[in-house]
Structure 1
Amino acid sequence: MTNKSHLKFLSKKQLSEIKDFKYNYGFDPSNDEEDKEPKNYTRLANSFRNNLIRLESDLNSKYKLRDKSLAIPFDIDYVQITFQDQFVINKYYKDYYNNFGLEATNFYDFAKKGLFAIVDRAKFERFINSVNNFISYELEKNHNLKFSEYVKYISDFKLLRTEDILKFKLEDTGSIVYLELINLPLDDAIKQQIAKALISYLNESNIEHKHDSENDRIELINPDSHQIQLIIQNYDIIESATCSLFTTIRPGEFNTVERQFAFTVSNSDEELPIIGIIDTGISSQTALAPLIIDDASFTLAGNPLIDQAGRRTGFNYLGHGTAVAALASLGKENHRNNFQGKVTADAKLLSIKISENGTGYISEVDLLKMLYDVKKKYPEIRLFTLTTCYGIFKEQNEPFSNYTYLLDKFSYETNSLIFICTGNNLNCLNENTSYELSYFQNNHTNLSTPADSLNNFTVGAAAGNLINGPFLGISSSKEFPALYTRKGHVDLSAIFSPVKVNKNYFKPDGIEYAGDIGYYDENTLDWMDEPALTLLSARPEIGIIQEVGTSFATPLVANLAAKITKNYPLLTNESVKALIINSASTSLIPFKSDVSKLKNRVIGHGLVDDFKTLYSNENSATLILEDTIKSGKIKIYPVNFPDYLIYDDLGKKNGILKINATLCFKFLPIKNNQLSYNPIHMAFSIFKNHTAEEIMKSDEEVLSKLKSTLTWSENGRYISKPIPYSNTQKITLNVNVDDLVSEKSTFKLALHARVSDQIVGGLPENYPKEFSFSIVLSIEENLKKKTGKLYDGLQLVNELESIQNIDIDNDLETDSLNI
């Protein structure tokens, strides 16, 4: 079997139709627009009465704590309103402003909860009166009173208080505190005057700070707890104050293997992709030295060519960034040769140091500025690893942090792809005596910021350690998720009805081998050498060490991305991401029925497959489509199949081909609305050989589905109350001979797009009008006796080109590591 280059569609030639899209599929959209009113109005009225009492008490408490000596031009109060169902932003946003003096500033729980500024107190009294009338109407049966129907759509309301804004205990105030400012799109002048007063206070109080006006946040350096409390209690433009400790390193003891470096890099003079290692530095005193770019300018904490993090042995530390860098550059190569002889590198390395010891507080403003500076100096860098996450896990359905937003925005603006670990759950040792997937049902196993990033690639850990021989970890097998890995925090079933879900909306994107924990004794789990990964240390006299963690799964996937960009340098990052996801599989990782709903949230799309990601062959062809689409349009691309699939005796008629297809696109994120953080609904599928008009018709009119279960990859019928949109989607299809006969050997690949209008303040005027995307299709013969005809046959009947006549590395075989 010969390794072959993937094939790329000549998109303009393959494209057959572009039409305006009509949303005629799915359930009756009118049902979605109906407000779901509560039936028990008596209970709601009692709840409102308590809300009013609490609101008045909280307002009195708030103003008693005011420091009247501060020169603050305006006072603004905010109410958090929880609704019975999703708030239809574009329909009711202005009504609440005009009728009640309430300006929506942000939405949470996917638009079931909103934060509103009281910008007109006289109009807000109308709201209070309407609530009082509703209470009297229901509890006192005073049916002569009138009230707004909007009241019945609310389930709870309360004042935004200091304790709601402050996301940490004051006694835990760290060296850096972030103030997220509230967005007032309709009353920005008021906000700016309060912001100016706040900056003046910071200057007069000699509080070191950085005002990131573009992203609406202020970073305070070494503030004391009294100052933080005073600011929150008086300056009414702060939505949240956070002080999040980040960490790369987990505690634990391994035996250190002392061995001199016995390998050398054979191709350090070759032109290779560069990976930016955002970490604790890369030691230039190791065998990696020829691969490290000699540039010490990108650092927040000391020399980036020195790595002093990780575990300590004697007077020295064994490093963290160095081990990450080695995996990113060399991949699994060192494990193939047992860390001896010559190895071939896949990437060169740029050290971007953000921490000296792997823990502490980080300036997100400085980090993002440094990343933009990296791209300015080295615009060719596309790939980064980030294995530092905040130590605090994300609560269920918690909104995107500003840090995540900044990284998503950076990746969109700079054509970058960051590989981010889910973070490690260190409590797994103390909370388990055996391996149970049900452990991931616990909220505290959720991932940490910024692993919820959508434009980037999130990596979790599988238990394997890349070593041939018996598996010695505690997991069910080496392909299963390690107990310390973290799961996605989003559970849409807690927000939406069972019919209104998005099966694509999950993290991580996939898992890769990162080592496992072991049994110290029959009932005790611990960090053990045998199931751990063997890694490069930062100490030349030590050589290699044993460690585990999602930090080490992440650079292995980044290494795979580097191989893709090396083999296929003209592919977009969306294609790189789609290739990796398309090859990933969950087939070796069965989840029992009691935990089946956790599967994608724990392992994403599954275990990454290096070989399928990189190469096609005679019997399995990977086709890549890169194109753009405008909002409101549908595009149709015929996919033609060779005739031998119909006329040759293949030994069977059903399931002769298996197709995996993955869509990836990037987007410019939008703040202040968890629901429309990604405002772009894009969906695709593979249909019968029908026209765009036929595909858009309902099933009752024309049945265009190839299979009853194969429909659009994401549901776009919910327009006023949409589901959150995913920018990564995957479908599968088994093809029968009869399918090919009935459709004359042609299926239609269809894709459509639409930009949501459920956005606070409306879609920004300068928001992009056209959106790039990549679709990867792997088409594989599913036959006992392979024909060797598929690859060439597909190329003959479609507008395809071999991406590159690459020098295939025949040493890379699917079972080369027996993993």
Structure 2
Amino acid sequence: MPKRNHLRILANQQFEEAGEVKFNYGFATQEEEVNREPNYILMARAFSNDLRSFRRDLQEKRASKDDEIDVPYDIDYVEIDFIGQFNIEKYYQIWYNTFGLEGVSFTEYNRTAIFSITDREKFRLFINSVETLIRKGLENINEVIPSRYILYVKNFKLLTLTDILQVTAEHIGNVVVLKTIELPANSEIENNILNALEKYLNDHLIEYLIDRENHRLEIFDATLDQLITIAQNFDVIESITSSLSGVIRPGVYNVPERGFGFEIANSNENLPLIGILDTGISMQTPLAAITLQDDTFSLDGNPLIDNYNRNGHGTMVGALASLGKYNHTNEFKGEVNADAKLLSMKLLSNGDGYLSEKGVIDMLYRAKTKYPSLDLFVLTFCYKTHKKTNETFSNYTYELDKFAHETDSLIFISTGNNPHALNENTDYDIDYFNNEHTNLNTPADSMNNITVGAAADGLYNGAFNGISSGKEFPTIYSRKDHVDLSVLYPPKKKNKNLFKPDILESGGDYGFYEPNTIDFMENAAMSVLSSNPAMGFTKDVGTSLAAPLAANLAAKLKIAYPDLKSQTIKALIINGASLENTKYPAAYENLLNRTSGYGILEAQSTIFSNENAATLVLEDSIKAEEQKIYPLNFPDYLLTTDLGKKRGILKVTATLCFSFRPLQHNQLTYCPIHMAFCVFRNHTSNQINAKDKDLNSKLRTGQTWSQSAREKSNPLPYSNVQKIEFFINLDHLRSEEKTLKLAVQSRLSNQIMASQIENYPNKFNFSLVVKIEETTKSPTGRLYDELRAINKVEIITAAQADADLEGEV
């Protein structure tokens, strides 16, 4: 079937109208949900224990202060668990004015908060109210009335050394990360404490890197006693964590196959550039021809050397990113063409250790400055510890998201491997993913980038040899999403778009050593390039192999469409992913997206349209509280030609992606932008906003906005990736005069802290990919050309002839 380039919707010409975002509210507010007669006895018991612990901890904190250390201010922090979701818009200022408490960090989607005690006199009202409620509950004194805001509190405690210090002596390593607290209402106090901390570190010859803008500090080669002293005396530290990271390979084979036996034929071409953040790339391999001879991007040794574990790691990652599936599946036979050139960015020579995250971020910005066209990266180094269920975003994830947004870049991040999976399983069992320790590792929760899990496919021909239910299924060592909103929200409240990984790619699988024993089996693994010339190729498995393969598809898209934005590349990749061959038992359907994302990639349909399937690309921007309408016009022949059926004559697959400036300190509004889309009947913006009983704009029952922001008082977190699929019937086109309306809406969360919303933009870029395909048994071959003729679109110019990609997708 001849390949056609995708079509770009000319936004300014196809655009029809802009309206306002309107919702029909009908849910109970937070106050209505919580404002019922509480069980004072149970609350009093809990508060009595909390108050006793609070006073004891406060006394111990005072006693632990070192009088010889000059710190200008002492600040206490109270951590509060709420019965429901703390509504920042409604209650933030009230708590500040009433109790002298300034919210500085919100987690558990606003169910837990850390407050700084900014006014100790006002804070006495909080303590008095707690004491009043205790008397009311335990002594049955009904005359006393506590502050009604106390009734929202489940538990409270002082933030202590135990909460702050999250490393042990054996896991300190040579780098620890300190997350510092932002005091929006007291920035002078915050800066003065940080100044004192820097003086202390300099006086004690402790090496450090500080990033005040992003509220983080890295300390090198510190002792546990020094960290304890810092935590006890400088009251601007929220957490001290280990930066232990690594590739965490689930298996190593060291099975030589043959010498390299190939050369890269097109090394002189102008190809996309991919940054490989790994263990280096060996120049003793054919990759030397397509690797920039630049040794300036490294945190640990020469980036043009890869000595990790005899066979290297960055070398195989680089080969998969640049040479892709086609060459690996066909064992590099014949002429070998690359899809990308490589920039080696070395993180750790030995594959694991304590990573300077600031060093990584600085290196990314330096690379982008030196090579402006560099906007694709592969990162397979993750934290070695999994994320706890619903754990908030780390500073590292935040900075990677911030980098992607500011530079229009895309980092392909592996979920991390679960090395325990081999010893904890004897077969492939989806239920295994219900264990928390199968959750993904930081920074795989990044939202502006692409997270990649491993499918069982090993890029070999013939029968599938793995333990998984099929080659499109996630491997047992791949990791799942850590977000589980069902733990915190009622069953009917969920955001179906909020999950990781985004996609799966081939990573190789375990095999059966015996009927009830799984192991590393060569015939189920993937053949990859070794850094060792004596080995040539070796066998390996891992999510570290899947992430670069996904980046290779992005490079192919960049070759075909060099001017597309990174979020459009992301939308095209996700739009082309499929779960068609990944079916879970009904009992585990809730794990499908959390383990497989949007599914396995299919390169041909992702990169090209054809005469019976057209992919339309819309790149535009939208303001907060705006709703934009774009008509989609369909050709006459769909009504006048006998297509052999009347229902489901067209299938539509559409994906929306956008990047955003992430917000720290508030897990709920880390992504503060609500954006949603849908295809409606041939109606106006106001008609689409009407109640269904007045005018139903939906094509099908239940087919509505891809994401909802209608609950303002108890909202769900938003997703910046949304995908929908639906079918169009002949009757739809006939009743709507062959025109349907693509609608996009946006709004900014009302749960953003005032200090953060002040300079936040109110206009946001987005990328929307819409694939329309005929589903008839005998396709007409007319759809692409006729859609092009009646809509304001243009063919997206390819960088080189289609023949250059022929046979390689």
TM-score of the pair, normalised by structure 1: 0.97
* Deviation at residue 33 of structure 1 after TM alignment: 5.8
* Deviation at residue 145 of structure 1 after TM alignment: 1.3
* 1:352 lines up with 2:350 in the alignment: no
* 1:34 lines up with 2:40 in the alignment: no
* Pairing partner for 1:420 from 409, 413, 428: 413
CA distance in 2, matches of 1:685, 1:779: 14
Which residue is 2:174 aligned to?
175
Unaligned segments of structure 2, at least 5 residues: none
Length, aligned pairs only: 807
Contact 1:246 1:362 in 2 (8 A): yes
* Deviation at residue 265 of structure 1 after TM alignment: 1.0
Letter in 1 for 2:612: N
* 1:546 lines up with 2:544 in the alignment: no
The within-5 A match list for 1:212-611 is 212-250=211-249, 252-309=251-308, 311=309, 317-611=310-604
Which residue is 1:3 aligned to?
3
* Deviation at residue 651 of structure 1 after TM alignment: 0.5
Letter in 2 for 1:144: E
CA distance in 2, matches of 1:15, 1:118: 51
Identity of aligned residues (%): 50
CA distance in 2, matches of 1:564, 1:338: 23
CA distance in 1, matches of 2:343, 2:627: 41
Which residue is 1:664 aligned to?
657
* 1:808 lines up with 2:796 in the alignment: no
* Deviation at residue 521 of structure 1 after TM alignment: 2.2
Which residue is 2:710 aligned to?
717
CA distance in 2, matches of 1:397, 1:809: 47
Instruction: Please state whether the residue corresponding to 2:678 is helix, strand or coil.
Output: strand
Q: 1:450 to 1:22 in 2, by over 3 A?
A: same
CA distance in 1, matches of 2:430, 2:235: 45
In terms of mean alpha carbon deviation, does 394-403 or 516-525 score higher? 516-525
- 1:516-574 superposed Cα distances (whole Å, 9 cap, x missing partner): 01122232221121110100011122110100000000000000000101100111111
* Pairing partner for 2:642 from 646, 649, 653: 649
* Deviation at residue 336 of structure 1 after TM alignment: 4.0
* Pairing partner for 1:798 from 787, 791, 797: 791
- 1:600-653 superposed Cα distances (whole Å, 9 cap, x missing partner): 110001111111110100111101111000101000000011111111101011
Letter in 1 for 2:436: N
Contact 2:251 2:541 in 1 (8 A): no
Instruction: Please state whether the residue corresponding to 2:184 is helix, strand or coil.
Output: coil
Q: 1:151 to 1:518 in 2, by over 3 A?
A: same
Instruction: Please state whether the residue corresponding to 1:186 is helix, strand or coil.
Output: helix
- 1:28-68 superposed Cα distances (whole Å, 9 cap, x missing partner): 14546634246423211211111111111111222222222
* Deviation at residue 140 of structure 1 after TM alignment: 2.3
Instruction: Please state whether the residue corresponding to 1:399 is helix, strand or coil.
Output: coil
CA distance in 2, matches of 1:32, 1:343: 61
- 1:161-217 superposed Cα distances (whole Å, 9 cap, x missing partner): 111111222342111011110111011111112111111111111111111112111
CA distance in 2, matches of 1:696, 1:41: 44
Contact 1:629 1:772 in 2 (8 A): yes
Letter in 2 for 1:484: Y
In terms of mean alpha carbon deviation, does 646-655 or 64-73 score higher? 64-73
In terms of mean alpha carbon deviation, does 466-475 or 759-768 score higher? 759-768
Which residue is 1:96 aligned to?
95
Contact 2:168 2:224 in 1 (8 A): no
- 1:264-306 superposed Cα distances (whole Å, 9 cap, x missing partner): 1111111110001111111111111110111111111111110
In terms of mean alpha carbon deviation, does 254-263 or 510-519 score higher? 254-263
Unaligned segments of structure 1, at least 5 residues: 312-316
CA distance in 2, matches of 1:37, 1:443: 34
CA distance in 2, matches of 1:252, 1:606: 24
Contact 1:333 1:344 in 2 (8 A): no
Contact 1:44 1:155 in 2 (8 A): yes
* Deviation at residue 804 of structure 1 after TM alignment: 1.7
* Pairing partner for 1:746 from 736, 739, 750: 739
CA distance in 2, matches of 1:220, 1:206: 11
Cα RMSD (Å) of the superposition? 1.4
Which residue is 2:123 aligned to?
124
- 1:795-817 superposed Cα distances (whole Å, 9 cap, x missing partner): 1111111102552248756xx99
Instruction: Please state whether the residue corresponding to 2:656 is helix, strand or coil.
Output: strand
- 1:95-114 superposed Cα distances (whole Å, 9 cap, x missing partner): 11111111100000000110
In terms of mean alpha carbon deviation, does 329-338 or 488-497 score higher? 329-338
* Deviation at residue 424 of structure 1 after TM alignment: 0.2
Q: 1:107 to 1:781 in 2, by over 3 A?
A: same
Which residue is 1:680 aligned to?
673
In terms of mean alpha carbon deviation, does 258-267 or 730-739 score higher? 258-267
Letter in 2 for 1:240: S
Q: 1:95 to 1:31 in 2, by over 3 A?
A: closer
In terms of mean alpha carbon deviation, does 606-615 or 764-773 score higher? 764-773
Letter in 2 for 1:101: G
Letter in 1 for 2:298: T
* Deviation at residue 122 of structure 1 after TM alignment: 1.1
* Deviation at residue 146 of structure 1 after TM alignment: 2.1
Instruction: Please state whether the residue corresponding to 1:61 is helix, strand or coil.
Output: helix
* Deviation at residue 431 of structure 1 after TM alignment: 0.3
Q: 1:783 to 1:599 in 2, by over 3 A?
A: same
Contact 2:30 2:85 in 1 (8 A): no
Contact 2:252 2:539 in 1 (8 A): no
Which residue is 1:788 aligned to?
781
Contact 1:244 1:392 in 2 (8 A): no
Letter in 2 for 1:799: K
* Deviation at residue 249 of structure 1 after TM alignment: 4.1
* Pairing partner for 1:768 from 757, 761, 765: 761
CA distance in 2, matches of 1:66, 1:16: 65
Letter in 2 for 1:796: A
Q: 1:532 to 1:792 in 2, by over 3 A?
A: same
The within-5 A match list for 1:690-709 is 690-709=683-702
Contact 1:264 1:341 in 2 (8 A): no
Contact 2:274 2:377 in 1 (8 A): yes
CA distance in 1, matches of 2:358, 2:388: 24
Contact 1:67 1:234 in 2 (8 A): yes
Contact 2:387 2:440 in 1 (8 A): yes
Contact 1:418 1:457 in 2 (8 A): yes
Contact 1:466 1:513 in 2 (8 A): yes
CA distance in 2, matches of 1:253, 1:415: 35
* 1:190 lines up with 2:184 in the alignment: no
Letter in 2 for 1:69: E
Instruction: Please state whether the residue corresponding to 2:518 is helix, strand or coil.
Output: strand
CA distance in 2, matches of 1:455, 1:670: 13
CA distance in 1, matches of 2:346, 2:256: 26
